[in-house]
Amino acid sequence: MSVGLVSRVTRSRRLGARARNDVKRPLERLHERIATGDRGWLFAAIADKVAERRIAMNMSQRELALRVGTTQSAIARLERGGRPPRIDTLLRIAEALDCDLHVELVPRA
């Protein structure tokens, strides 16, 4: 293989990879936002609401954990925003806090 052909093949592969990266699926975009630290918009809001409701109900993290079927440390991590909660966990937390869970999809401007 000649040097010119190798560079064209390499350049073509790079361009193909770049084109594939431009068309990201929603989950990939979410993972990217999380990895780049842009998670405050969603996960911090969830964490705040869980903590506010738990405190308003005079409930400890341990009590909430028992009702949800998880550990106190998992509730503490969630309230700190340390780990994004799974949807099934959020549903159990909402039930334990006597709340409804609403997810809203808003079209981008």
Please say whether the beta carbons of 90 and 61 come within 8 A. Answer: no
**pLDDT by position in tens, the chain (length 109):** 544 544 454 555 555 544 455 566 776 766 666 665 555 667 888 889 999 999 999 999 999 999 999 999 999 999 988 778 889 999 999 999 999 998 888 898 7
Residue 13 confidence (pLDDT)? 53
Q: What is the pTM of this model?
A: 0.61
Residues 43 and 30: their CA atoms lie apart, in Å, by: 12
